[in-house]
Structure 1
Amino acid sequence: MFHISYKSLRYFVATAEELHFRRAAERLGITQPPLSIRIRQLEDDIGSPLFERDRRNVRLTKVGAVLLEEARPLLAQTELLSKSVERAAMGEVGEIRIGVTQSVALMGKVPRVLRQFRREYPDVRLTLVEMLSNAQLVALREDRIDVGFVRIPGTLATTQTDFQAIPVETDELALYLPSDHALAKTLAPVDMEELANETFVFYEREVATGLHEPLLALCKRHGFEPRIEQQAREPTTIIGLVSSGFGITILPRSFTRIGQEGVVVRAISDPGPPIKTWLTSLSDNRSALIRRFCGHFENLMT
């Protein structure tokens, strides 16, 4: 059993195809003596001449012809493998497991940037995994996803040192009312104090931490605690309950894309800090692919 290196095969195939040592050396970008030495070493390792040489001609022997037939596809496959590995190292191929909340599809920028990334890197597979924001943080730590689009309080996103978080979407809170509600008759922004005695429909607390806390804080700042009598897990259900007259709700303005009949959306005169969505990954993630993905978003969001 003998070993043939990739370099020896390259030198042999170039010589076999040129049938001329000087031209083969020029093709390889080397001088002729190292090529001749490498071919002789290869013949010694195999135990048989690969070329018949005289002063005018170089011809393949039968052994050389067999080696050439087998070497060409091997070289092609090796070069393909090398290019694939190089592209992977540069973050141009592979798979990214992306955690998303239900509301990602309702956002304006994130779907657009995802489409652009897929166009620019068609060999990168984006696998979306739907899960709650808090669950995404756990999944990141357990290596079940690579990145996550999370809607969590900004302090949580930026103070946990094992995460890096890039703000990718900013949204303002708005008031969603049944179309026959008294406040729906005006186009002017609604003061929060006017909602103190209203019945609210909202998310279950564990489903939307990033929205639940801002709602409570907003109401508290205006002197009341919201009376939440109906809870749901999906925005379409919440807005559907508003349409059916079960109460009012406060949600990001982007949720107007749901387009529920019988619901009117009004601005709030003091909506509080904007709601942010963060592209989150582990701080110590060294994957070139993940760095490229996060960098793509960061560049387009600035």
Structure 2
Amino acid sequence: MDLRRLRYFIAVAQEGHITRAAERLDMQQPPLSRQISLIERELNVQLFRRSSRGVELTAAGHVLFREATAVLNDFERAIEATRRAARGELGSLCVGIAPTAPFNPLVPDAIRTFREQFPGVSLVLHEGLSNEIVAQFNDNQMDVAFVRAPQVHADGVDVTLLQREALVAALPSHHPLARTRSKTVSLKSLANDQFIMIGPAGTGLHDETMAACRAAGFIPRLGQPAPRITSTLGLVAAGLGIALVPSTMQSVRMKGVVYRALGDASPKAFLGLAWRRGDPSPVLKNFVSLVRTMAKRRPQVSG
């Protein structure tokens, strides 16, 4: 018994006539009759009652028809699922996201668009700083990640630039420069303030802040570190220091925090996409292609 014979049997059962079934199958009637007889002989049961008007199923034939139809339907579903998986339409993807990345509209828009285009793919999202993303790549627990660092020091991981967005200063509302009419401040004018860093050295915004301050001619005084952007803004609101954050963070309104554009060198925050080089996953390829295409269509984010 094979799938070909099951299809012959189902065609005869549906048509109720061997000649019509043979025409439907694009074959001659005698070979089809032989195939039906071979099935009955193999199963040692009578599947059809013959009459001058055609054939009709016996009780055993009805059972085989029900089960054979289910088998063929399952087989067709399996074939289609296999093809969809090869096209990257089925599967799962673990996506890392730097804490500040979701505030850039590109990131949630890309995730939403991917889910709409590939509803059969399960996305698992993990928030993490650059060093945490590196650890997950090294442990094979991460497929792709939106990162703030231009380099991810994990074996075989590539990083491509998506956007550079302006950094802005997050100041306590009682800060002198927060109470002026000017919406722009000089980074050098903040040299005497304590800087609250998001994450440790080696993570994206920490290193971007250090580089921006050095370019402005000073080494920042480091205040209390913060593991996440929300705790950073909370410390700013409490008056424990200032922070440089991506300009898209201005959408986060927190009492006690005022944002000011930087008028000097206009330092930029890096937003990139990291994935393992040579990964053959069609799901990953679809995700990377979609994100990069969307990024090319968007302007850089200013302060």
Distance 1:17 1:278 in 2: 58
Deviates more, 1:232-241 or 1:39-48: 39-48
Do structure 1's residue 212 and structure 2's residue 209 form an aligned pair? no
Shift of 1:31: 5.2
Do structure 1's residue 288 and structure 2's residue 282 form an aligned pair? yes
Where 2:141 maps in the other structure, the secondary structure is: coil
User: Percent of aligned positions with the same letter in both sequences?
Assistant: 35
Could you say if the C-alpha distance between residues 28 and 290 of structure 1 is closer, same or farther in structure 2, counting changes exceeding 3 Å? Answer: farther
Distance 2:263 2:207 in 1: 19
Do structure 1's residue 252 and structure 2's residue 246 form an aligned pair? yes
User: Who is 2:15 aligned against?
Assistant: 18
Where 1:224 maps in the other structure, the secondary structure is: coil
Shift of 1:19: 2.1
User: Who is 2:80 aligned against?
Assistant: 83
The partner residue of 2:215 within 216, 221, 224 is: 221
- Structure 2 letter corresponding to 1:211: L
Do structure 1's residue 97 and structure 2's residue 94 form an aligned pair? yes
Structure 2: which 5+ runs fail to align?
Answer: 297-303
Structure 1: which 5+ runs fail to align?
Answer: none
User: Who is 1:240 aligned against?
Assistant: 234
Distance 2:161 2:30 in 1: 60
Shift of 1:244: 2.0
TM norm structure 2: 0.85
How many correspondences in the alignment? 295
Distance 1:166 1:10 in 2: 51
Do structure 1's residue 187 and structure 2's residue 188 form an aligned pair? no
- Structure 2 letter corresponding to 1:253: S
Could you say if the C-alpha distance between residues 57 and 284 of structure 1 is closer, same or farther in structure 2, counting changes exceeding 3 Å? Answer: same
Shift of 1:145: 2.3
User: Who is 2:43 aligned against?
Assistant: 46
Could you say if the C-alpha distance between residues 43 and 195 of structure 1 is closer, same or farther in structure 2, counting changes exceeding 3 Å? Answer: same
Distance 1:44 1:271 in 2: 87
Q: Report if the CA contact (8 A) 2:194-2:221 is conserved.
A: yes
Distance 1:135 1:231 in 2: 16
Shift of 1:75: 2.0
User: Who is 1:67 aligned against?
Assistant: 64
Distance 1:32 1:147 in 2: 57
Where 2:270 maps in the other structure, the secondary structure is: strand
Could you say if the C-alpha distance between residues 26 and 228 of structure 1 is closer, same or farther in structure 2, counting changes exceeding 3 Å? Answer: farther
